[in-house]
Structure 1
Amino acid sequence: MSPEAALLRVVHCLDRALASPYKTRAFVRALDVVRTTDPVELAERARDQRLTDLDGIGDATAGVITEALAGVVPSYLQKIEADSQIELTDDGAPYRAALRGDCHLHSTWSDGGAEIEAMAATAIDIGHEYMVLTDHSARLTVAHGLDEARLADQLVEIERINGEIAAAGHDFRILTGMEVDILLDGSLDLSDDMLGRLDVVVASVHSKLRMESKQMTERMVMAIANPHVDILGHMTGRKIGKRPESTFDADFVFAACAQFDTAVELNCRPERLDPPRELIDLAIDYGCWFSIDSDAHATGQLEWQPLGCNRAAEREVPVERIVNTWSADELIGWASAG
């Protein structure tokens, strides 16, 4: 294992563990140093224990580099690899086996930490047939959301990357999408023309999460009823232990999801696990569609889907109602029909 490969894997595992961004950035910085340092110099510094003289290399990263150069799997990597494993229950395993893709994930085009190519390579490694790239829309400025011009550029880039993936012999596709903001009046942060160009659209509330219940209900239902919206993302907006759930009339919202064939996302981020169990039960009662999505912002986070699969199994979500158990063409056909 090369120092670059070892550091890349450490970053992957730290992201999977939702580690402190400061810790992750330290290893990303060390990775940059390794990539820009002559390999001979790197080996000499490791031999003489002078790696930490390089700006951006600390004790932990120096240890990883030194052990990788010595031909052993670094001890730090072994520990973080073991500590960051995602549990998949026996009941959740059939759900995970049924999933063929991930409908909600981000790249460096918005607030993600990995390039599109890296996210696709990881999705291929974990057995997906497709991923839907859903970077944020422009309204979410803190996430460097995409305006229409940047989204148009991204569509061209996705076409290019898909060509390279096919040329490499992989039967895998990046589907076009966006996590579009639901604005205060229920309208969407993207024109109908651009929304119509996308394979899958996730719509989410990111602002005024404490809006009065009646207004929030109307806001969500308006978005759900939009024919371009396919999936309602992290519907309560909660962050466990940090931010409470938004309040809305769940009966109205799920009735609208059922009427307009808008899937309810089972968001797998460990700090979200949204919606809560009782709302999953209600969505089942209304006959809603579901999508089990990682909402990944880095490669390691693509491995979070088992968390949603475990919850789906616990609440007995019908597997046939989960849209990302379908093929890419079936998913696109369903989304287009909406």
Structure 2
Amino acid sequence: RTEKGVYNVLGMEFIPPELRENQGEVEAALKGKLPKLINYNDIKGDLHCHSSWNGGVNSIKELAEHAKNIGHQYLGITDHTKFLKIEHGLDEKKLVQQRKEIDKLNSKFKSKKLKFRILQGCEANILADGSIDIKDKALVKLDFVIAGIHSQFRMEKSRMTERIIKAIKNPNVDIISHPTGRLIKRRDAYQIDLDKILRVAKQTGTILEIDSYPERLDLNDQNIRRAKKAGVKMVITTDAHYKDQMRFMKFGIAQARRGWAEKKDIINTHSLSKLLKYFK
């Protein structure tokens, strides 16, 4: 006798524990229409990590070696940009300098015939008017761009919504980080019209982040399900500020499973060549 056997007797698909929230899973199980949830071994790489270039502890090399050792195929370095002075955010010139270091490391991996690559991104700041704090001519040279809100969190709902939408419409912004801004037990989510944001993200092909950092878990499970229903792709990241925090990935995957997300909904379940096609 097994738990799956009980469901079988009832004429239902087995309902994974994460879905047992009385959110339509019983009806779906009776119809044989439960999602095939993303698994814990589906992630191919982490696309939100901070290095010692600004807010992180470890060097890019240390982060890359750790990512490689835990089975990742790629790693995105996404240091903060210049608006965040407290984090010593990078300006356009420093991004160019950082690219040279990343290129050297990638050349070494290639010479050793290792199928691992570091991607240079950044976590740019969405300013109050929705503009980005790094010039477009610098952003376009990166492998991908994350943009997020790190200031003025208490804007009125319509202004905050338009602020995020303007960033989404920027042709160089690929991913919106921690889209609702919540910090569990510390800060409530922004006041936003998420449905409107999802419609624009679908139109532009912009990806929303599931930030695995335990204080964030943003998007949350309900918003993940809304994004999935809207056809918006997502990425599960750790927002790691030192290498051991890459272990947080499991929390984001668990959140995605609670949100009914499948492998096809999450871009970093893909190989590098397929992943790069999602970036603008």
Partner secondary structure for residue 98 of structure 1: coil
Q: Which ranges in structure 1 are unaligned for 5 or more consecutive residues?
A: 1-88
Q: Which ranges in structure 2 are unaligned for 5 or more consecutive residues?
A: 1-16, 20-35
Residue 282 of structure 1 deviates from its aligned partner by 1.4
CA contact (8 A) 2:73 2:116 kept: yes
Partner of 1:319: 263
TM score, norm. by length of structure 2: 0.85
- What is the CA–CA distance in structure 2 between the aligned matches of 1:213 and 1:201, rounded to whole Å? 25
Partner of 1:38: none
Partner secondary structure for residue 185 of structure 2: coil
RMSD over aligned Cα, in angstroms?
Answer: 1.7
Partner of 1:220: 164
TM score, norm. by length of structure 1: 0.71
In the alignment, does 2:277 pair up with 1:333?
yes
The AA in structure 2 aligned to 1:306 is K
In the alignment, does 2:141 pair up with 1:194?
no
Residue 155 of structure 1 deviates from its aligned partner by 0.5
Partner secondary structure for residue 132 of structure 1: strand
- What is the CA–CA distance in structure 2 between the aligned matches of 1:119 and 1:161, rounded to whole Å? 11
Higher mean C-alpha deviation, range 306-315 or range 272-281: 272-281
Q: 1:110 aligns with which of 54, 68, 82?
A: 54
Q: Name segments (4+ residues, structure 1) moved above 6 Å.
A: 89-93
- 1:128-277 superposed matches below 5 A: 128-277=72-221
Residue 243 of structure 1 deviates from its aligned partner by 1.2
Q: Percent identity?
A: 38
Deviation string 1:271-316 (CA, Å, 9 cap, x unpaired) is 1001222222211121110000011110111111111111111111
Greater radius of gyration (CA): 1
- What is the CA–CA distance in structure 1 between the aligned matches of 2:110 and 2:78, rounded to whole Å? 21
Partner of 2:70: 126
CA contact (8 A) 2:157 2:191 kept: yes
Residue 90 of structure 1 deviates from its aligned partner by 9.1
Partner of 2:7: none
Query: Number of residue pairs matched?
Result: 248
CA contact (8 A) 2:46 2:268 kept: yes
CA contact (8 A) 1:93 1:309 kept: no
- What is the CA–CA distance in structure 2 between the aligned matches of 1:234 and 1:149, rounded to whole Å? 26
Deviation string 1:6-33 (CA, Å, 9 cap, x unpaired) is xxxxxxxxxxxxxxxxxxxxxxxxxxxx
The AA in structure 1 aligned to 2:219 is P
The AA in structure 2 aligned to 1:180 is A
